[in-house]
Amino acid sequence: MSAGTDQCNDIPINVIGLSGSLRLGSYNTALLRATGELATDGLHIETYDISDIPLYNDDVRLAGFPEPVARMRDALRAADAVLIASPEYNRSVPGVLKNAIDWASRGPDQPFAGKPIAFMGVSRGALGTALANHHLRQIFVYLDAVMVNGPEVMIGGGPQKFDATGRLVDEPTRRFVAAHLEKLAALVKDIRILRQQRQCLP
Ligand code: FNR
């Protein structure tokens, strides 16, 4: 292993977590909490609350980003990676999450370009969040993010996977989520190495 890769492995990876549910007892927010127990490889995951993001209005944007939006965009830009945990609403992405993504996406300095990003989701249904996850992929192709492909975390039967305190207790699900986080950490490290090497090119 080169000195460059050793240095990359020592640097913490700061991840901003977005939940697609504002509900206090949200399984998706609980899933983000669980990543605090499951994350290794230098990952530090902090959930960012999007409940104060106003409804998107292009007239408002043209007059200047509202303060909660500007704060969220700064936090996204500063993070090494983004981790989204979202339910599926009517076979798609919940409006509150799409609204936050839409706000973040405007302007020349859109924070998702080139940013490593991973998706997870919990729903009550048997199909998990398969369709919402795929809609998120469509959105982030357009926004030029760099996505973790798999293992895809699309958890069905949400209430059976958590205990009464909201702790993720289902062992196979915990292993699966941990594997997904390892892939996210590896992606961030690979990108760091590529960027370092690019700087060395004549
Ligand atoms: C749902 N739910 C749901 N579940 C699913 O598997 N597929 C779906 O398309 C939908 N659609 C849907 C629409 C709306 C408006 C709501 C409120 C709910 C159920 C959903 O999986 C369940 O409420 C989860 O518990 C929501 O996630 P949180 O809030 O626990 O994170």
Contact between residue 43 and residue 13 where contact means Cβ atoms under 8 Å apart: yes
- What distance in Å separates the CA atoms of residue 122 and residue 109, rounded to the nearest whole number? 31
Residue 85: count of CB within 10 angstroms of its CB: 30
Q: What is the pLDDT of residue 78?
A: 97
Q: What is the pLDDT of residue 8?
A: 58
Structure confidence at residue 3 as a pLDDT band (50, 70, 90): very low
How many Å lie between the centroid of ligand 1 and the Cα of residue 88? 5
Q: Is 133 in the pocket of ligand 1 (CB under 6 A)?
A: no
Token duo for residue 147: 């996505």
How many Å lie between the centroid of ligand 1 and the Cα of residue 138? 20
- Ligand 1 nearest-atom number relative to CA 19: 31
pLDDT digits (tens, 9 = 90+) for 64-98: 999 999 999 999 999 999 999 999 999 999 999 99
Average pLDDT over residues 19-39: 97
Q: Whose CA is nearest to atom 18 of ligand 1?
A: 89
Token duo for residue 161: 């996977």
User: pLDDT above 70 covers what percent of the chain?
Assistant: 96
pLDDT digits (tens, 9 = 90+) for 120-167: 999 998 889 999 999 999 999 999 999 999 889 999 999 999 999 999
Q: Which amino acid is at 61?
A: R
- Ligand 1 nearest-atom number relative to CA 127: 6
Q: What is the pLDDT of residue 198?
A: 85
CA angle 75, 66, 135 (to 5 degrees): 60
Average pLDDT over residues 178-188: 96
Least Cα distance to 123 among 73, 81, 89 occurs for 89
Q: Is the pLDDT of residue 9 over 80?
A: no
- Ligand 1 nearest-atom number relative to CA 125: 6
Q: Is 84 in the pocket of ligand 1 (CB under 6 A)?
A: no
Q: What is the pLDDT of residue 202?
A: 72
